[in-house]
Structure 1
Amino acid sequence: MRIYLTKACRTCPFKDQCTRSNERRIKRWEHEHVVEAAQMRLDQNPQAMRVRRETVEHPFATLKMRMGATHFLMKRLPNVATEMALNVLAYNLTRVMNIVGIKPLLVTIRA
């Protein structure tokens, strides 16, 4: 977090709407500009989240179904990350086998 202090509030006509103190403290996350840029892109293209949701929901639903749609079996973040990575790897391999076929996949792996 970055904290900015300004004494310009003493002479500002909108001081009563902003702050009761003599100075204004503004707190900003150091990566706030990234969040603002993402929000600006979303404001320019409101359908983007709908497209993303439609694209991403199917793989996550499939992963949840394969995992048992309940919870992770492991505890602690490194273990859960490994479990998720293995699930994603299995999902991706299944997709490749369905799209390309098993024989071309094996030829590519051996190459």
Structure 2
Amino acid sequence: MEPLDEIAARLNAQLHDISADETGFAGPLRPGEHLPSVAVVAHGLPQPLASHTGGAYQCLLFLGEEGRLDGEVLAELHALLRQPVPVLPLLVSGRALQVPGFDTVIDAGDEL
């Protein structure tokens, strides 16, 4: 199994980690299952929130002070994007967002 497939499988398994105190979620919903309007993902991407709207999952990622999207974060985001149900990543950073492979830097300034 490829590393990204392993990450995708682990994230998908979080669907079963739901408890009263902490909601873990990743992967497509099974028939008859419903995702809360906002769910905290217990493992995987750092400090994310996930919600299900319009047939796609929204992942709101709060990146660290450095604003970098790389390493394990990038690999796990890639794994989420490979899920059968579309994922819309929304990235929030206190500094300019730096994505490897892109020359452009996205900077929201003090908007957030």
Larger relative helix fraction:
1
TM-score interval for Structure 1 and Structure 2 normalised by the shorter chain: under 0.3
Question: Which structure's relative contact order is higher, taking Cα pairs within 8 Å and 6+ residues apart?
Answer: 2
- Give the TM-score, by structure 1 length: 0.25
**Structure ranking higher in strand proportion:** 2
Structure with higher Rg: it is 1
TM-score, scaled to structure 2: 0.25
